[in-house]
Amino acid sequence: SIDGSANVHTDGSTAYNKLKEKGYDHRRTVHLGSDIQAHDSMPGVHRVAALLQRWLLGTHHGAIQPKQLDYYLDEFVFRFNRRTSKSRGLLFYRLLQQAVVTRPVTYKNVIDNREE
Average pLDDT, integer, range 1-6? 77
pLDDT score at 47: 87
Q: What is the pLDDT of residues 79-96, one digit of tens each?
A: 888 888 888 788 888 888
pLDDT score at 1: 67
Domain check: are 62 and 25 in the same one?
no
Domain check: are 37 and 52 in the same one?
no
Mean pLDDT computed over every residue of the chain: 84
pLDDT score at 60: 86
Q: Is residue 114 predicted with pLDDT exceeding 70? A: no
Domain check: are 33 and 47 in the same one?
no
Domain check: are 107 and 50 in the same one?
yes
Q: What is the pLDDT of residues 13-67, one digit of tens each?
A: 888 888 888 888 898 888 778 787 777 777 888 889 889 999 989 888 888 888 8
Domain check: are 111 and 58 in the same one?
yes
Query: What domain range includes position 32?
Result: 1-41
Domain check: are 27 and 65 in the same one?
no
Nearest Cα neighbor of 46 from 36, 57, 58 is: 36
pTM over the 0.75 mark? no
Q: Is residue 112 predicted with pLDDT exceeding 70? A: yes
43-75 burial code (b ≥16 CB/10 A, e <16): eeeeeeeeeeeeebeeeeeeeeeeeeeeebeee
CA 50 to chain centre: 11
pLDDT score at 52: 92
